[in-house]
Structure 1
Amino acid sequence: MSLSDPIADMLSRIRNAVRNEAKQVDCRNSKICAGIADVLKQEGYIRDFHVIDDGRQGILRIELKYGPNGEAILHRLDRESRPGRRVYRKVEDLPRPLGGLGIVIVSTSRGVLSDRKARTEHVGGELLCVVE
């Protein structure tokens, strides 16, 4: 079975796992999905992630993070750019979700970055997803 959009599949798995209050979720591994997981870890939305070798492309195991009373840290995780409609933005036009409290994950020429890091490095790119 081939996936036409592995990023959307990963985001849906994370959304469903958060809704079910799971401790971890497994996704297919790819460079872009590992980059997204790395940005989520750096920004404090997930606890950690590991790549598990399964003899093929690997499995990305994401350990989810919750608040002190068990409340979800991730409230919104939406895909912006899709295979049928790519969305690119200059650094000046990057959105600020929740007035700067949320992040936008951007695929740039310098790798997958959060919108804050893209602004400091002054690079734009493809908007992958919005995290709140």
Structure 2
Amino acid sequence: MGRRILNDALRTIVNAEKRGKATANLQPISGVMASFLKIMKDRGYIKDFQVSDPHRVGKITVELHGRIKDCRALTYRQDIKTKDIEDYRIRMLPTHQWGYVVITTPSGILDHEEAIRQNAGGQVLGYFY
């Protein structure tokens, strides 16, 4: 259920980007969604996001840059080892220069570069570029 909520939120962001909007409102929310958006913010793909009322249904307002071409959450579970992360990134992302694969690890939710640096494998959550 959680991955479907994340996928719907990411599709809302992509649709807002394609329409040229400055913000996107995401509802319902989850902690995984906030972690995914934090990685996107750290990598410069979104300006900022604000969480309102996280203990109930909640809402996240995302300020957009216009850099996102596509982002998706995998709705199926896919385990990945540390040595296979780079091959997976090359296979899934359209270019070698930009884009990130987001992975859930025992150390938390990380992008592929940080997961390789920490030598941590896990499950692929999604990707963005």
TM-score normalised by structure 1 residue count = 0.83
Which residue pairs with 1:15 in the alignment? 14
In the TM superposition, 1:57-96 aligns within 5 A as 57-66=57-66, 73-79=67-73, 81-82=74-75, 85-94=76-85, 95-96=88-89
The DSSP-based 3-state class of the residue aligned with 1:99 is coil
Cα drift, residue 100 of structure 1: 4.7
Q: Are residues 110 and 3 of structure 1, via their aligned partners in 2, closer, same or farther at CA, if it must alter by over 3 Å?
A: closer
Cα drift, residue 78 of structure 1: 2.6
Q: Deviations over 1:8-65 (max 9, x none)?
A: 1111111111111111111122110000000000011000011012772311111111
In the TM superposition, 1:1-132 aligns within 5 A as 5-27=4-26, 28-53=28-53, 56-66=56-66, 73-79=67-73, 81-82=74-75, 85-94=76-85, 95-96=88-89, 97=93, 98-132=95-129
CA contact (8 A) 2:102 2:111 kept: yes
> What is the distance in 2 between the residues matched to 1:76 and 1:18?
9
Cα drift, residue 86 of structure 1: 0.9
Identity of aligned residues (%): 26
Q: Which runs of 4+ in 1 moved over 6 A?
A: none
> What is the distance in 1 between the residues matched to 2:44 and 2:112?
14
Gapped regions of structure 1 (runs ≥ 5): 67-72
- Amino acid across the alignment from 1:76: D
Gapped regions of structure 2 (runs ≥ 5): none
Give the number of the structure whose residues are more often helix, by fraction: 2
TM-score normalised by structure 2 residue count = 0.85
RMSD over aligned Cα atoms: 1.9
The DSSP-based 3-state class of the residue aligned with 2:68 is coil
